[in-house]
Amino acid sequence: MVIASFIFFLLVFAGIGMFSVFKSQGSVEDYLTAEKSVPAWLAGLSAVATNNSGFMFIGMIGLTYSTGLSSIWLMLGWIIGDLTASLCIMRRLREVSARSNIHSFGALLAHWHGTDFHWLQRIVGALTIVFLGAYAAAQLKAGSKALHALFGWDASVGAVIGAGMVALYCFAGGIRASIWTDAAQSFVMLAAMLTMVFVGLMQLHGIDGFYLALQQVSPTYLDWFPAMEDWSPLLFVLGWIFAGFGVAGQPHIVIRYISLDRPESIVRMRYYYYSWFALFYSATIAAGLLARLLLPESAEFDAELALPTLAQAMLPPALIGLMLAGLFAATMSTADSLILSCTAAFTRDFHGAADPGIFMTKLVTLLIVVISLSFALSDSHSVLNLVLIAWGLLASAFAPLLLVYAFDGRPDEKLAIAMLLVGVSVFLVWRHFDLSHLAYEMIPAMLAGMAAYFIGKIMGWTLESAVKEQVDAC
């Protein structure tokens, strides 16, 4: 019954994605941006499902299980940072992306001020492929861990099923298939999480029993901040705010704004996006706390498997299938977007082809699926660790430049490239020397990228300075 329920939901998602082929215009632009015609509600649900991936079902619940109530700052900080980025950047981003030559994240950065920064576009494309490829592998890995926990299947099975499903409907309908299935998956994700919370509360005799039991876990489990030797509570929260602001540097989420039907729709899109975001995040934290009470902690227990293990112990077979489908929905809703963003990065940015054609574009999609699957099967990092590294690298590279652009900063190409490389370098150096006890690496990395801009501006590495030099030369 569990497997039948699980397969049913997978077939529903596949069917939705495949049905989108009837709306396809058969062009590369439609494949990558859905002709920039997606309505606000659909774009909002798609963006939030893509953002809240297998990381939420696996990594976030595992974090809450292990650390307690202090994980709430991941939610609060992330949403504050995300909203700040939306208010500062996204409206202007959508206006700029209306130009006919912008169908990828790299093209957006390269042509923002009517420029044509070839090297910047290629570097953005290369970084996108590497970082998003690792990110996609994390999503496939999340689904694989869940199937392994529930059914005892080999750890590779879930990743292979997820990759096959993503390849099927991405190949058929491109970004439109991704957006349609994301919206459907968002409902299943939320229903699955709320079901888990409701059943867990009933097991503990309601909210009062839940709270009393939490107080017995440990003296610090309900503390608002974790015990930290070096980080102050302010720095701890600030790290998650920077992480949330990093949404501006995520090509797979930004493309939802590019695909929106018009810039004015962003306000309505935010209502759908943040309402769902807050509700799902809250349910995820509650599920993590419930898992700690209902599952015994041991040295052998993998906290990232708390949700599927709890579902298997508490739910009837049909609802276990729903929960597993919800987890798979989360992984696929992000993995398909990541893979399509990698496709755009390779065909439009890194490769530099003006019009690679729809057939070649789809072949690249399949190749990226295979590469991401291979990485998922070979990598040993946790889902949470993989996601935070990939998210942090993307944010450190791209968010500072987008912020400068949004406030009409005009770096020339060498300064824009310098900002990208400085942000990535600081992030990697910070991790290499294990300085995360001082601050989350995204804080110094993004600040370094901004500092590079102001230093470059003083040195005259701006479009205004270049124009002035040309005028003086004449």
**Mean pLDDT highest for which of 80-84, 276-280, 300-304, 385-389?**
80-84
Q: Are 416 and 120 in contact (CB under 8 A)?
A: yes
Q: How many CB atoms lie within 10 A of CB 451?
A: 16
State the helix-helix crossing angle for 266-294 and 306-314, rounded to 10 degrees: 70
For 144, half-sphere exposure in the C-beta direction (CA atoms, 13 angstrom radius) is: 25
Backbone angles phi, psi at 449, to 5 degrees: -60, -40
pLDDT for 54 equals 65
User: CA-CA distance, 453 to 73, in Å (whole number)?
Assistant: 30
Residue 35 DSSP code:
G
Burial of 235 (0-12, 13-18, 19+ CB in 10 A): middle
User: CA-CA distance, 130 to 464, in Å (whole number)?
Assistant: 33
Partners of 462 in the β-ladder: 411
Q: How many CB atoms lie within 10 A of CB 202?
A: 11
User: CA-CA distance, 156 to 154, in Å (whole number)?
Assistant: 5
Q: How many CB atoms lie within 10 A of CB 156?
A: 15
Characterise 408 by phi-psi region: left (phi > 0), alpha (psi -120 to 50), beta (else).
left
Partners of 38 in the β-ladder: 260
310: three-class secondary structure by DSSP: helix
Q: Which position has the higher pLDDT, 87 or 168?
A: 87
Mean pLDDT over 268-290 rounds to: 93
Amino acid letter at 61? Answer: I
Backbone angles phi, psi at 276, to 5 degrees: -65, -45
Q: Are 162 and 143 in contact (CB under 8 A)?
A: yes
Token readout for 119 is 């090297």
Per-residue pLDDT band for 193 (boundaries 50, 70, 90) equals: confident
User: CA-CA distance, 184 to 198, in Å (whole number)?
Assistant: 22
Q: Which position has the higher pLDDT, 412 or 17?
A: 412
User: CA-CA distance, 31 to 8, in Å (whole number)?
Assistant: 27
Partners of 260 in the β-ladder: 38
Per-residue pLDDT band for 473 (boundaries 50, 70, 90) equals: low
pLDDT for 472 equals 53
Token readout for 230 is 């070096």
Q: Which position has the higher pLDDT, 153 or 372?
A: 372
pLDDT for 234 equals 80
Q: Are 135 and 375 in contact (CB under 8 A)?
A: no
For 102, half-sphere exposure in the C-beta direction (CA atoms, 13 angstrom radius) is: 27
C-alpha distances out from residue 131 to 36, 177, 252, 357, 394, Å: 25, 23, 11, 25, 7
Q: Which position has the higher pLDDT, 221 or 225?
A: 221
Q: Which string of DSSP letters, residue by residue, matches 119-163?
A: HHHHHHHHHHHHHHHHHHHHHHHHHHHHHHHHH---TTHHHHHHH
Q: Which position has the higher pLDDT, 110 or 59?
A: 110
Mean pLDDT over 387-392 rounds to: 84
Domains of the chain: 2-383 (1.20.1730.10)
CA 333 from chain center: how many Å? 10
pLDDT for 266 beyond 60: yes
Q: How many CB atoms lie within 10 A of CB 80?
A: 16
pLDDT for 108 beyond 90: yes
User: CA-CA distance, 6 to 58, in Å (whole number)?
Assistant: 18
Which tens digits make up the pLDDT trace of 318-337?
788 877 777 777 777 788 88
Which tens digits make up the pLDDT trace of 416-465?
999 999 999 999 999 999 888 778 899 999 999 999 999 999 999 998 77
pLDDT for 381 equals 58
Least confidently predicted of 47-51, 202-206, 379-383: 379-383
Q: Containing H/E element for 426? A: helix 413-432
Token readout for 440 is 């989350």
User: What percentage of the chain exceeds 90 in pLDDT?
Assistant: 43
User: CA-CA distance, 342 to 185, in Å (whole number)?
Assistant: 21
List strand residue ranges (DSSP E) for 24-140, in order.
none
Partners of 411 in the β-ladder: 462
Rg of the chain over all Cα atoms, to the nearest angstrom? 22
Q: Are 342 and 104 in contact (CB under 8 A)?
A: no
Q: What share of the chain is helix, strand, coil (3-state, %, to 5)?
A: 80, 0, 20
Which tens digits make up the pLDDT trace of 343-352?
999 998 987 6
Q: How many helices (H) and strands (E) does the chain have?
A: 21, 0
Least confidently predicted of 84-88, 178-182, 285-289, 464-468: 464-468
pLDDT for 295 equals 85
Residue 38 DSSP code:
B
Cα separation of the two ends of the chain:
79
